[in-house]
Amino acid sequence: MIEFHLDARSGVAPYLQLIQQVRHALRLGLLKEGDRLPTVKDVVARVAINPNTVLKAYRELEYEGLVQPRPGLGTFVTRTLAGGDEAIAAHEPLRRELTGWLGRARAAGLDDEDVEALLISTFREFSEERAGRRG
Amino acid sequence: MSSVITTTGLTKRYGRRTALSDCTLHVPAGHVVGLVGPNGAGKSTLLQLTCGLLTPTAGTIEVLGETPHTGSPRIGFVAQDTPVYGNLTIAEHLRFGAHLNPGWDQALAEGRIAELGLDPAQRAGKLSGGQRAQLALTLAIAKRPELLLLDEPVAALDPLARREFLQGLMAYAAEHGTSVVMSSHLVADLERVCDHLIVLVNSRVRVDGDVEELLGTHHRLTGPRRDPSTLGPGRHVVQASHTDVQSTLVVRSTAPVDDPTWASDRLDLEDLVLAYMTEAGAHGRDRVLEKR
Amino acid sequence: MIWLTWRQFRIQAWVAVVFAAVVAAALAATGPALYDLYRSSGFADCTADCGEIARNFTAQATDALNTTLYVVGTGALLLLPGLVGIFWGAPMVAREVETGTHRLVWNQTVSRRRWLVVKLVTVGLATVVVAVTISAVVTWWTVPLDEAGPGRMYPAVFSARGVVPIGYAAVGFVAGVVIGMVVRRAIPAMAVTLLAVALVQAVVPFVVREHLVTPVSATAAFDPSKIEQLGIHPDNRIDVTQGPPVRGAWVLSNTMAGPDGKEYHGPSDPVKCGRAGGPQECEQWLAGQNLRQEVTYIPPDKFWALQWREFGLLAVIAVLLSVFSLWWIQRRVA
């Protein structure tokens, strides 16, 4: 089971935030096929949000084929976004490498903002390059 | 979609002072409706007309298909400042709720009190503002109404109590599908929990509708200075401000604005409501162009 | 609804029960001794020329305790309407409006009118019970002393005997409710209620009461032995009155008419009624002046007829005020 949270200042519509959090959890393997999402009542009681917003997010996830409501039982995950066991197995060594890299960045005198900027710009360049090669 | 509240030309005057004028509304069922506006805009008056505590001076109001009257089992009302009897205990409040309401849900009431960690033997006069609001909410929902009205329920609460109150309210609305109308003078209180909005300024309804539709149809346009009336049909200018060289407009429009001289931005709910409030308050500023 | 009314009213109710019980107990404890004296002094069985016996009885009976009890009993009944008006009536709606709890209670499944009816009936009934208890004991206890004194037809005493205290208390209570409802704030409403009840307690006895039964008008020849007051002014003007023909009557007017039928004021004979002559000489001279007493009064045997009529009037006022309050709460209070 996952717990939702809401960032009021992000400018992202609340239902989109909920969708993103489910997708994120699916990607990280926190949610697997057959897992149950929290009930609408549980979500609203936790984050003080309009029930229709939660329903809308769940409908959207259902439309994407990620979840399936079962009447009287709840909403269940039907598909995972993590690239299979192999990809999940790769998470751990990759995370170790990244931690090592972060340690070196800190040792070189970069602060949090520097690290974040460097990560995002590199990630962007990398994505654009790949997209360019494909296109 | 069925309406829980339908008003036509609803007007309420106290002597010479007009508290609500010519209000025509359809509030759809099954929604959490936010009633927002500055203090004294007529929010309390509209809610009290809805629960039958007040009778209209002119116009009509229908709530759940009938003329509202106090003592209805179908409407729950949490009044401003969440009044409770200071010298009665929490348990005694529940007892009078049970005596006075045929549809009373004692299990729901006791469950909520236990969940909140309140001592039933505690006198209501000794409760904190947040606890008192929770008790008032418990009384209103344990009568199992079809429509729940709340008049500034979180205005006097600290952020934590505010959050807890809204959590309880939303949990109830989610479980029972009750329609909720709650007022506030702060959009921030309402933007997460409401999916329908009514903006009331100076005793008049400025705008009302589905929150997402409102957000989707309002744009902030920035561009070189020009007369807002040249924008063309189907576009209602909500707010306009001008400098020597630049004009900033808040526009309601169903079609996207594709004029390349304008930079178009989305608004968040707070900006949207504020645009309607300033429009009502400051007509003087709109006339800068006409003077030239 | 009855439970809520009781819960909100129970402290006031206990105060009233204790108060009524204390008054009743004190009078019940001392009453038998008073009645013994009433009989043993011969005053109880006296039929004629009782003045001397009455004075003796009063002198013996009015020790410090009985005097206090007489004043407290009568005073309690005269103050009761004001007290229930202030403490039970005025805050009933005003306090709810002041604290906003009317918006809580009227949004339960109970109409405003039913809420008010239950409150009016419950607290009204308590008012009546308290008034009946105290008035019954006081009316019984005071019979001997009233008979020996100015009598229970005397306006202030009449208001504190029999059934009229119930009527006054009911009017005081409902008036308090109505005033609280209109004024909407408890403390000012209490002050206005006090004034209103005092006004009713003054206007009804001194303006309305004499019209409720037909007074008796009588004329009688002047009888020097019945002179009540005799005053002679330096300019020979004379004021003379004669006691009423019935003991214990409420005298509305009592004048002495001369031979010409006009009110008689002399002039007196400076010799007979001057310094030289004694009072008896003057009285004899007056007897020869062909004077007539003209008196209007309500005799004591009309006591109960007047009691019931005044009670009826007060009951009608209380009902009308209640009806008004039921109309007002629906229309004007929010």
User: pLDDT value at position C233?
Assistant: 80
Q: How far is B54 from chain C (nearest CA, A)?
A: 6
Chains contacting chain C through 3 or more C-beta pairs under 8 A: B
Tell if the CB–CB gap between C110 and B100 is shorter than 8 Å.
yes
Distance CA B71, CA C328 (A): 17
CA–chain centroid gap for B189, Å, is: 10
Q: Is the distance from CB of B285 to CB of B234 less than 8 angstroms?
A: no
Whether the CB of C103 is below 8 Å from some CB of chain B: the reply is yes
Instruction: Answer yes or no: are the C-beta atoms of B154 and B189 closer than 8 Å.
Output: yes
Contact state of A51 with B170 under an 8 Å Cβ cutoff: yes
The total number of structural domains that make up chain B: 2
Q: Is the pLDDT of residue C278 over 90?
A: no
What residues of B are in the A interface, CB distance below 8 Å? 31-32, 163, 166-171, 173-175, 188, 191-195, 212, 215, 268
Q: What is the CATH number of the domain that holds B18?
A: 3.40.50.300
Q: Pairing mode, if any, of strands B179-184 and B147-150? A: parallel
> What does the pLDDT read at residue B288?
35
Task: Verify that B170 and B107 share a domain, yes or no.
Answer: yes
Q: What is the pLDDT of residue B147?
A: 95
For chain B, give me the number of helices (H) and strands (E)? 10, 13
The reply to whether B242 and B286 lie within a common domain is yes
Of the candidates B100, B102, B139, the beta carbon closest to that of C1 is on B100
DSSP for residue A49: -
Distance to chain C for B80, nearest Cα, Å: 8
One domain for residues B191 and B243 = no
Nearest CA in chain B to A6: B192
Whether residue A91 contacts residue A48, with contact meaning beta carbons closer than 8 Å, is answered with no
Asked if residue B256 and residue B136 are part of one domain, the reply reads: no
Q: Are B71 and C106 in contact (CB < 8 Å)?
A: yes
User: Per the structure block, which two tokens stand in for C75?
Assistant: 């005073």
Cα separation, C294 vs C219, whole angstroms: 5
Q: Is the pTM of this model over 0.95?
A: no
| Interatomic CA distance for residues C190 and C85, integer angstroms | 8
Cβ-contact A34, A76 below 8 angstroms: yes
Q: Give C276's pLDDT tier (boundaries 50, 70, 90).
A: low
Query: Which chain B positions have a beta carbon within 8 Å of A44's beta carbon?
Result: 167, 170-171, 173-174
The CA distance from A59 to A18, in Å, is: 11
Contact state of A53 with B195 under an 8 Å Cβ cutoff: yes
Residue A48 has pLDDT above 90, yes or no: no
Q: Cβ of C10 under 8 Å from any chain B Cβ?
A: no
In the β-sheet with B58-63, what is the strand arrangement from edge to edge?
A: B17-28, B3-14, B58-63
Whether residue B98 sits in one domain with residue B71: yes
B96 CB near a chain C CB, below 8 Å?
yes
Segment A76-111, tens digit of pLDDT: 998 877 666 677 777 788 889 999 999 999 999 988
Domain boundaries, chain A: 14-77, 84-134
Q: Residue C23 phi/psi, 5° resolution? A: -60, -45
Q: What are the chain B neighbours of C112 within 8 Å (beta carbons)?
A: 70-71
Q: What is the DSSP string of B4-69?
A: EEEEEEEEEEETTEEEEEEEEEEEETT-EEEEE--TTSSHHHHHHHHHTSS--SEEEEEETTB---
Residue C6 has pLDDT above 60, yes or no: yes
pLDDT of residue B280: 59
> Beta B32-36 vs B179-184: how paired, if at all?
parallel
Fold for the domain defined by A14-77: Arc Repressor Mutant, subunit A (1.10.10)
Q: Which domain holds residue B41?
A: 3-202
Q: Do A41 and B195 touch (CB under 8 A)?
A: no
Asked whether residue B43 falls in the same domain as residue B142, the answer is yes
Residues B120 and B133: their CA atoms lie apart, in Å, by: 15
Helix count (H) and strand count (E) of chain A?
A: 5, 2
Residues of A in contact with B32 (CB under 8 A): 50-52
Write the CA distances from B101 to B86, B108, B145, C108, C158, integer angstroms.
Answer: 21, 14, 10, 6, 47
Could you tell me if B41 and B184 lie in one domain? yes
B23 near B11, Cβ under 8 Å? yes
SS3 at position A130: helix
**B210 assigned to some structural domain:** no
Which sequence spans correspond to the domains of chain C? 2-213+303-331, 216-301
Here the ipTM equals: 0.87
